Amino acid sequence: MKPTKIKDPNYFHKVVDCQWACPAHTNVPEYIRLIAQGRFSDAYMVNRDSNVFPGILGRVCDRPCEPACRRGRVEEKPVAICRLKRVAADHRQDITDRLPKAPATKNGKRVACIGAGPASLTVANDLMPLGYSVTVFEKYDKPGGLMRTNIPSFRLPEQTLDEEMGYILEMGVDIRYNSPVESMKGLLDQGFDAVFVGTGAPRGKDLDIPGRQEAAANIHIGIDWLESIAFGHIDKIGEKVLIIGVGNTAMDCCRSSRRLGGKDIKVMARRPRQFFKASPWELEDAEEEQVEIIINHAPKRFVLENGKLVGMEFERLEWDAAAKKSTLIDTVILPCDDVILAIGQDNAFPWIERDLGIEFDKWDMPKVDEKTYECSRPGIFFGGDAAWGPKNIIWAVAHGHGAAISIHNHCQGVPVTERPEDGMNLLTTKMGISEWAYSNDYSSSKREKMKHVDLVERFKDLKTEVEIGFTAEQTAREVQRCLNCDVQTVFTAKRCIECDACIDICPVQCLTITRDGEEEDVRKRLSAPSINLTQDLYASDPLPQTSRLMFKDEDVCVHCGLCAERCPTAAWDMQKFDLLIQLAGSEACTKQFA
C-alpha cells in the first residue's frame, strides 16, 4: 500500500465521522467540548459558522451525523449530537455582537434570492458581509419557508425561527414579503448580477383513486394542510383520521391531527416498517402520542355514503423479504372522517419561462450542476429543495453555502468552477507525559433520553414544544460520550522501534505491524477483523528496524490516546484536526481574488 497522504484534509476529515456526514461539515467534536466547558456561546458560534441555524437544527435537523457517529459502532447508540446543539442554542448568551455584519460600503453587486427558506437565507448570510446588496422575494408574509409553514410549532417554536431568521435579515437584507415571483423573465429584466432560486418543492403529491373528487372536502394534501394550520386557517379535524404515507410529513400530519381533535389516528403504510422513510425518532414520537402505524396496506378507493367520506378501502399485502414484490391477501375498509395525503412533494416551476436558456430535463426539473449549483444559463443558481427535489434543512444550508461561493465568483469574474479547496490545521494536544489538551478518558454512559412534556399538557395547546431539552446533568453526561474523533492519531514511522506497546494497549485492536501488501491482503492480516470497508486503513512509511508497516484501521478507534501514551518514542501523537472550510469570501478565496 502507498503510505497514507495525511496532508490531504479529506483523510482526517473522514475520520471525524459526524463532520464528514454533515452536509455543512459542522465541527461537532469542537462544539461538544465547548459545551463540556460551559462555553455555550462559543459552541453556538462554531455551529453557526457552518450550519447557520443552530437553534432550529438543534431541534429538527435530520441529523445525518448521528447514524454516522463512531460511538454507534463502538456501542449501541450514537452521541446525541443534535440535542447537544440545542443545548448550545438554549444556553447561549447574547451573541449579536459576534454575528457577521454588512460593511458600510456596498460592493455594487446586486443579487436576487427567490424564496425565503433556509437555502436563500444562507446565501444572504454569506453574501451580505461581503458587501452585496441581496434582495429576497418571498411569496408569504414571513421568512423561513417550510420550516415555518410545515414544521409544526410543537417541534420548532416560532421564537426560535424568528431569532435566527432575524440574525440574517438584520444585516440589511432587502426582503420583499408577499412578492411571489411570477415570471423569471420579469425578474431578470430588473438587472440583477446573479439570481438564486430557493423556492423549494412546493407541490404535494395527490392520490388519484376512485372517490377522490367526490370526497374532496375531507381529503387534504399534507403539506398544504400543515401550512393552513401554521397560518391559522385550519384548527380542527374529524375524530377518525387516516394518514396515507409514512414519511416525515406523515408524522407531522398525524401528530397535528392529534392536537386538532383527532382521536383515532392511523398512519397507513404500504410496506413493512424497515422500509419506512420516516426517521426512527419521528416514528417513536408519533407512537408515544398513541398514533397507530399500520403496515402492508395499499389505498384502493375512498368510500362515500350520501356524498360524504366515511372510509377508505385498502388492499392488504404480503411482501417478499426485500419488499419489492407483493401479493394481495384481501381488502379491508377502514372508517374515517378525514384523510391526509402525505406521499411526497414535487417541484414546480410554472413561473420560469422555457425560452430563457434555462434547460429542463425530462422530469421537468432544471438541469443544475452538482458542484457549482449553476443552471444552464450563467448567473442563475439553484439550491435547497428547488435544485434536486425535497431533502432537508441542513442540505439546503449546504447548498446555500456552495451557491454563495459560485455567486461570489460569478460577480467577481472568476469561473464558478474555480472553487477554493478546504484546508486544515493539525496541532499536537500533548501537554506533558500522559497529559493531553482534551479529556481522553472513556465514559461508558449510555445515550441520554430526551424528556418530553407529558401527554395531557402537550395537547392543550398546538404550540407547546414537546421536547424539554437536556438538563444540566444530562448534558454533562452526554458530552463525555463524544470520542473526540477530531483528535487524530498521527504516526511518524522513523521514530518507531517496533516494541508493540501501542498494539498491545489499544482497547479496540486498531493497530497492526505487518509486512506490506495490497490493501485487500493487508486487511486480512490485521489484529482484529476488518469489518467495515468504508473506513480507511492508515498505512505508514516502512519502519526502520524491519521495513514492515504500521497499519491503523480507523473503524473503531476511540481516540483514547493510549497508543501515544504507551509509545516510548512518541511515534504516535494525538493531534487536533481543524477543517478549514471554505465559504464565500473565506481567506483563501479572497487571496485568489487579490
Ligand X SMILES: Cc1cc2nc3c(=O)[nH]c(=O)nc-3n(C[C@H](O)[C@H](O)[C@H](O)COP(=O)(O)OP(=O)(O)OC[C@H]3O[C@@H](n4cnc5c(N)ncnc54)[C@H](O)[C@@H]3O)c2cc1C
Which range, of 16-24, 72-80, 118-126, 326-334, touches ligand X by CB under 6 A?
Answer: 118-126
Which residue in 178, 455, 507, 592 binds other proteins (CB under 8 A)? 507
Q: 79 is in the binding site of which of other proteins, ligand SF4, ligand X, none (Cβ under 5 to 8 A by kind)?
A: ligand SF4
Tell me the number of residues near ligand SF4 by CB under 6 A.
Answer: 42
DSSP 238-274: -SEEEEE--SHHHHHHHHHHHHTT-SEEEEE-SS-GG
Longest dimension (CA), the chain: 90
User: One-letter amino acid identity for 366?
Assistant: P
Residue 226 CB burial class (10 angstroms; 0-12, 13-18, ≥19): buried
User: DSSP class of residue 129?
Assistant: G
Which range, of 41-49, 135-143, 211-219, 286-294, touches ligand X by CB under 6 A?
Answer: 135-143
Q: In the structure grid, which three cell numbers stand for residue 326, read together?
A: 407483493
Which residue in 329, 497, 533, 588 binds other proteins (CB under 8 A)? 497
Stated as kind and residue range, the H or E segment containing 462 is none
Q: Shortest approach of other proteins to residue 431 CB, angstroms?
A: 10
Q: 102 is in the binding site of which of other proteins, ligand SF4, ligand X, none (Cβ under 5 to 8 A by kind)?
A: none
User: One-letter amino acid identity for 393?
Assistant: I
Which residue in 6, 111, 416, 510 binds ligand SF4 (CB under 6 A)? 510
Q: Shortest approach of ligand SF4 to residue 473 CB, angstroms?
A: 20
DSSP 179-241: -----HHHHHTT--SEEEE-----EEPP---TTTTTTGGGEEEHHHHHHHHHTTS-----SEE
The verdict on 566 binding other proteins (CB under 8 A) reads: yes
Q: Shortest approach of ligand X to residue 294 CB, angstroms?
A: 20
Which range, of 353-361, 401-409, 466-474, 554-562, touches other proteins by CB under 8 A?
Answer: 554-562
The verdict on 579 binding ligand SF4 (CB under 6 A) reads: no
Which residue in 334, 414, 476, 505 binds other proteins (CB under 8 A)? 505
Alpha carbons 96 and 221: distance in angstroms, whole number: 39
Alpha carbons 514 and 33: distance in angstroms, whole number: 36
Q: Shortest approach of ligand X to residue 288 CB, angstroms?
A: 16
The verdict on 485 binding ligand SF4 (CB under 6 A) reads: yes
Residue 135 CB burial class (10 angstroms; 0-12, 13-18, ≥19): buried
Which range, of 21-29, 67-75, 143-151, 165-173, touches ligand X by CB under 6 A?
Answer: 143-151
Q: Are 424 and 12 in contact (CB under 8 A)?
A: yes
Q: Shortest approach of ligand X to residue 196 CB, angstroms?
A: 10
Q: 74 is in the binding site of which of other proteins, ligand SF4, ligand X, none (Cβ under 5 to 8 A by kind)?
A: other proteins
Which range, of 5-13, 191-199, 304-312, 431-439, touches other proteins by CB under 8 A?
Answer: 431-439
Q: Mark 24-53 with x for binding to ligand SF4 (rule: CB under 6 A) and - for no binding.
A: ----xx------------------------
Q: Shortest approach of ligand X to residue 555 CB, angstroms?
A: 28
Which range, of 123-131, 228-236, 327-335, 494-502, touches ligand SF4 by CB under 6 A?
Answer: 494-502
Stated as kind and residue range, the H or E segment containing 311 is strand 308-319
Rounded alpha-carbon distances, angstroms, from residue 496 to 75, 162, 413, 414, 493: 31, 56, 51, 47, 6
Q: Shortest approach of other proteins to residue 205 CB, angstroms?
A: 41
The verdict on 562 binding ligand SF4 (CB under 6 A) reads: yes
Which residue in 315, 509, 541, 542 binds other proteins (CB under 8 A)? 509
The verdict on 441 binding other proteins (CB under 8 A) reads: yes
The verdict on 516 binding other proteins (CB under 8 A) reads: no
Alpha carbons 67 and 56: distance in angstroms, whole number: 20
Alpha carbons 24 and 404: distance in angstroms, whole number: 13
Neighbouring CB atoms inside 10 A of 83's CB total: 22
Q: Are 176 and 364 in contact (CB under 8 A)?
A: no
Which residue in 6, 79, 114, 584 binds ligand X (CB under 6 A)? 114
Please give the radius of gyration of the chain, using alpha carbons only, rounded to the nearest integer: 27
Q: Are 196 and 111 in contact (CB under 8 A)?
A: yes
Q: Are 224 and 348 in contact (CB under 8 A)?
A: no
Alpha carbons 332 and 328: distance in angstroms, whole number: 11
Residues that bind ligand X (CB under 6 A): 60-62, 114-120, 137-140, 145-147, 150-151, 180-181, 198-200, 202, 223, 226, 248-249, 252, 351, 384-386, 390-394, 396
Contact footprint for ligand SF4 (CB under 6 A): 16-18, 28-29, 69-71, 78-79, 81, 482-483, 485, 489, 496-502, 505-508, 510-511, 552, 557-563, 566-569, 571-572
Residues that bind other proteins (CB under 8 A): 73-75, 434-436, 440-442, 444, 497-501, 503-505, 507-509, 528-529, 531, 545-546, 556, 558, 560-562, 565-569
